[in-house]
Structures are given as C-alpha cells and as structure tokens.
Amino acid sequence: MATSKFRRTNEKFFDEYKFFDQFLCERYNYEENGVSNYLAKMKESYIEAKDSIHEWDATYERLAAIKKRFDALENNETSFDDFQGKDEDVVWMQVFCEKLDANADPLAKYKKLKFTYKTRPKSFWQKIKDVFG
C-alpha cells in the first residue's frame, strides 16, 4: 500500500520541526523547547518590538501555528494521514534558519535596537499587563 501524500508531508514537517527546534536551542542556548522559548522571548519583548520590527507579529503567529501543528502530531491528537498543512511550513522553517544564521531573525533584530524603554522604569499599565498578561 502506498504512503499517502498527507503522511509524507506531515512526516517531512515533523522531522524538520525537530531539527528547527534543536537549531533554535543551539542558537539561543536553550536546553530544550527551542520554539517555545523563542515564542516566550518574543512575547516578553512585544511592547518594545512590535512597531519597530515589521515581521514581528507575522513571525510570532507562524511560529505558534507551526508549534501547534507539531504538538497535535506528536501527541496523537491528529493522524499523520490527515491533512495538516503544506510543505510551505518546511520551507518557512528552513528560511528562518537562514535568517538565524544571518542574525536577521526578529529577536536578533530586537537585540540590535536601542530602546529608551528598555532602560526606563515600566509604566503603571505595563506593570499591570505583566501581572495579568
């Protein structure tokens, strides 16, 4: 019996995600869960970075969607034979790795920026958002 197109696509995605997650761990010195940690760092920096780095929101949303797809496959919430997405997720992760190598990913760009609010005290509303956010 031939392997379904969906299964091949999902297996390729699954393998690429594991490589991508490990690549992020190595790049940012995370012990594990590279994608989750990268997303957490993006969330922490959202207020300062969202207006200065045009791809911030799109990158965050894409990473979150890719992580959700991987988690569903890993936890057997969906079958590898079900439609999950296209190979474009694999290509996107590969391109993102190239951005990481070139220090052109959103977090690398964020670290290069000089923000006055990185050093000034947080406002009352920022403190509330941190508590309840």
pLDDT, tens digit (0-9, with 9 covering 90-100), for 109-119? 998 886 544 55
Question: How many domains, the chain?
Answer: 1
1 pLDDT band, cuts 50/70/90, is very low
Q: Counting runs of H as helices and runs of E as strands, what totals does the chain give?
A: 7, 0
pLDDT, tens digit (0-9, with 9 covering 90-100), for 7-50? 899 999 999 999 999 999 999 999 999 999 999 999 998 888 88
Domain span at residue 117 reads: 5-132
* Distance in angstroms (rounded) separating the CA atoms of residues 7 and 59: 26
126 pLDDT band, cuts 50/70/90, is confident
* Distance in angstroms (rounded) separating the CA atoms of residues 73 and 80: 7
* Distance in angstroms (rounded) separating the CA atoms of residues 131 and 109: 26
* Distance in angstroms (rounded) separating the CA atoms of residues 101 and 26: 11
Q: What is the mean pLDDT of residues 69-77?
A: 92
- Does 74 have pLDDT greater than 90? yes
Is 100 strand, coil or helix? Answer: helix
What's the pTM?
0.79
pLDDT of 119 reads 52
CA dihedral for 120, 126, 130, 131, sign (positive or negative):
positive
- Does 64 have pLDDT greater than 70? yes
Q: How many CA atoms lie within 13 A of 22 on its CB side?
A: 6
